[in-house]
Structure 1
Amino acid sequence: MQLVVARIGRAHGIKGEVTVEVRTDEPELRLAPGAVLATDPASAGPLTIETGRVHSGRLLLRFAGVSDRNAAEALRNTLLIAEVDPEELPEGEDEYYDHQLIDLDVVTGDGTEVGRITEISHLPSQDLFIVERPDGSEVMIPFVEEIVTEIDLKEQRAVIAPPPGLIDDHADRDEAADGHSAPPRDDRA
């Protein structure tokens, strides 16, 4: 199975180093010197990591055969893809790879069906499940332990404890469309 582990950013310096946007929780494993990574677009690779270091909080990589700024800049926005055994699990107890979470059924604690995870969105502050509801609409659910209370890979489901308004806003809109309105909200702090 192939997993996107990073996206190449701009060139750094004149010796072929590039900044990378890390998209893995295991950069020391996936982006270590000697790692050979496929690329998207495929014409850019495969790339072999020659060196890696952290500079001002950013990971910098240098690839074999990329020795100057122009060659490094030509790789900008290329995705780096690692080949991973589909049975491999992350090291942490409550960590999951995206492919393990896609297609899980999402239910509330009382068993009410919410939908199916179709995508994981990785944002700087937190990850989001993009869940397709039975009616075809989508809802975004923050992947935080206060809301996602259980991931059961054996049963292929994610159990959530949604706060008010997270998943039931469809009912509010349906009532408004029927001429009934939801209670007014005061958004002032």
Structure 2
Amino acid sequence: MQLVVARIGRAHGVKGEVTVEVRTDEPELRLAPGAVLATDPAATGPLTIETGRVHSGRLLLRFAGVTDRTGAEALRNTLLIADVDPEEMPEGEDEYYDHQLMDLDVVTEDGVEVGRITEISHLPSQDLFIVERPDGTEVMIPFVEEIVAEIDLEEQRAVITPPPGLIDDRAEIASSREAGEAEPEKDKAGDDA
């Protein structure tokens, strides 16, 4: 099975290094020197990682055969894809590969069906489940501990505890006025007493 592990960013310097946006929790394994990665677009690869280093908090890679800035810029926005055994599990207890989460049924703790995960969106601050509801609409659910209570791969479901308004657009808004309370009358200017 193939997993996207990084996206190539802009060139860094003049010797062929590129910045990469890491999309794996195991960059030391997937993006190590000597790794051969498929690419999207396929015509760009495969690419063999020659060197890797961290500079100012960003991972920089150099690929075999890419020796200058022009060659590095030509790789910009290329996705790096690793072959992974489908039975392989991430090292962390509460970590999952995207393919394990795809098509899971999403239900609330009290058993209400929300929908099915159709996509995982990886944002800088958190990951999002894109969930297709039974009526065909989509809802985005942050993949955070406070909302996703349980991932049960055997039962093929994700149990969530959504805050009000997350999965429905009819969030209750507390009003400071009681329903039916009349507005007080205003004094009319210019009345003679």
Q: Which runs of 5+ in 2 are unaligned?
A: 177-193
Which residue in the other structure is 2:104 paired with?
Answer: 104
Between Structure 1 and Structure 2, the one with more helix by share is 1
CA–CA distance in structure 2, aligned partners of residues 64 and 185 of structure 1? 64
* Letter paired with 1:102: M
CA–CA distance in structure 1, aligned partners of residues 175 and 127 of structure 2? 27
Q: Indicate the structure (1 or 2) with the bigger Cα radius of gyration.
A: 2
Q: Secondary structure at the match of 2:70?
A: helix
Does 1:72 pair with 2:80? no
Q: Which runs of 5+ in 1 are unaligned?
A: 174-181
Could you tell me how far 1:185 is from its partner in structure 2? 7.2
CA deviation profile, 1:7-57 (whole Å, cap 9, x unmatched) = 111111111111101111110000000000000111110000000000011
Output the aligned Cα RMSD.
Answer: 1.4
Q: Secondary structure at the match of 1:82?
A: strand
CA–CA distance in structure 1, aligned partners of residues 84 and 65 of structure 2? 24
* Letter paired with 2:137: S
Which residue in the other structure is 1:148 paired with?
Answer: 148
* Letter paired with 2:87: E
Could you tell me how far 1:168 is from its partner in structure 2? 2.2
Spell out the pairing of 1:167-178 with structure 2 (5 A cutoff).
Answer: 167-169=167-169, 172=170
CA–CA distance in structure 2, aligned partners of residues 142 and 2 of structure 1? 24
Using structure 2 for the length normalisation, give the TM-score: 0.88
Spell out the pairing of 1:10-159 with structure 2 (5 A cutoff).
Answer: 10-159=10-159
Using structure 1 for the length normalisation, give the TM-score: 0.90
Q: Secondary structure at the match of 1:24?
A: coil
Could you tell me how far 1:183 is from its partner in structure 2? 4.6
How many pairs align?
A: 176
Q: Percent sequence identity over matched residues?
A: 88
